[in-house]
Structure 1
Amino acid sequence: MSTTVSTPDSEQTCAYCGSRIFDHDPICVRDCDDDCGSPAFFCNYACLSARVDEKDLTAGDACEWSPEE
């Protein structure tokens, strides 16, 4: 499987807040557990973090750690 990398359009907006991504510090995210669909662009880490929290995307995806193990 391969993924094509390309630069988004200069008018590309943030998937969370709608701001133009290149007015900030853009981040590209691609869900490769679901056929590496189209990338989602966020204008900064705060919007990405807010989207992850809002959609509860970390639930069940983290390893559990215990100091006894």
Structure 2
Amino acid sequence: MKQGALIFDERTDRYDIRFGLGDYYGGLHCGDALEVFTGHKWKPTRIEYGANWYLVGIRAEDLSGLRVRI
């Protein structure tokens, strides 16, 4: 699994994962499974879109910067 941080790509209007300076996942789509580090542990989730992008079962005002792995 690769670990990185969620970022919002305004060009594509979707979230992506940044692994390093020039290393990106390539854009997340609805239903993509990943793990997020929250509460000092990794939790499985998936990304979805309703009124805004959200992670199923994860409470967060802003997804940008969350530590994730995929």
TM-score (norm 1): 0.25
- Which structure has greater strand proportion? 2
TM-score (norm 2): 0.25
